[in-house]
Amino acid sequence: MSPHRAARLVVDDLTQDYRATLRRFLPRRDEAARESAYELGRHAFTGGISLLVMTRIHQNVATEVLRETAPDDRVDVAERSGELLLEVLAAYDMSHRSVLEPRQDNRTP
């Protein structure tokens, strides 16, 4: 399998997982779905998925869900999907900080 095809499969799997997590989160906003989103972000980060790719996955899935949503509910769904994205991005932020903080500690004043 080519590296490009393998990367595509990883993104496809991540998209499926993100879709399932978002659909579980929207009606309840439960902590389990938030934890799943954080873990999804952590998995994506350690798997080398860029922040831009992860954001594109969110945009595609959220747009898909919004198209299926009644007009009166779209603002609420958009807000809730944004909440879930923040959970995913929190994993990136924590991982990023863990890489940067040792570098800052090694700097001389």
User: Tens-digit pLDDT profile for the chain (109 aa)?
Assistant: 776 666 778 899 999 999 999 999 999 888 998 999 999 999 998 888 999 999 999 999 999 999 999 999 999 999 999 999 999 999 888 876 766 666 555 555 5
Quick one: pLDDT at residue 83?
Answer: 95
Quick one: pLDDT at residue 47?
Answer: 87
Quick one: pLDDT at residue 5?
Answer: 67
Q: Are the C-beta atoms of residues 91 and 39 closer than 8 Å to each other? A: yes
Quick one: pLDDT at residue 105?
Answer: 55
Quick one: pLDDT at residue 52?
Answer: 93
Quick one: pLDDT at residue 25?
Answer: 94
Q: Are the C-beta atoms of residues 95 and 42 closer than 8 Å to each other? A: yes
Distances (CA, A) of 1 to 5, 39, 69, 101: 6, 27, 38, 37
CB contact set of 42 (below 8 Å; sequence gap of 6+)? 91, 94, 95
